Structure 1
């Protein structure tokens, strides 16, 4: 891959990351601000409302990290390394979120807020690992490794 193409790919990655994180944070903030009205459209049950508001207050601001992980996984796919994106989401759910939620609720007997915290941990860890992984991968890229459509050549 030519130097300017790699520079362009890195700019596109950074732009997608910024827009994705920004949009997800905006959605998270809107959920926090309008959560009660959104929930009221679906239920009036006070227990459901309480749990849902708790989820929103704990998890909503981690949506930016989740968006970052999606951008990173998509970047791997664009490089022809789709398994890396799979491993990133396996890390998020299978290694961090689900086991941590299980341990926090069943071993330490914590309440449902611990599940929400496990979701945040999965979002943060997978996006940080994904960021450093994709940056490392982009530094090692060569033209022979990039999938090219025959019609575009």
Structure 2
């Protein structure tokens, strides 16, 4: 990457922490960038009802709490599909020998860019009975220094596709 940072401290977050933000997906109707947005409510963001909207073609769908989507109910976290509607993520691209690099949204992309750009990565404070962070669960190909430049280029390409 062009702008290496000296140090990155793992904020100890989980992938599901990004569920409170919009998740960018490929619209099933037009192939443009659609948004899966959590609706207001008291439930945790990951299980809160969501609304899918595509500004390009006007497609809409609902998930959870009586939604009309094809996958009412269960959440599937992980991989290059959105956890609610199970649509392909907008922010995904091939990288490092055929692996797929993906992010749910700009906030997720920010953390990945900071992590990849850092020459020194620190674990961060782990509370008693602490959980494994999202970054600790990254595959080895994303943690390897030899892939830093290609990862950086791919992350910049993904950032350029943000609506």
For the criterion TM > 0.5, the same-fold answer is no
- TM-score tier, shorter chain, comes to under 0.3
Larger Rg: 1
Which structure has the highest strand share of the two?
A: 2
- When normalised by structure 2's length, the TM-score is 0.27
Task: Specify which structure has the higher proportion of helix.
Answer: 1
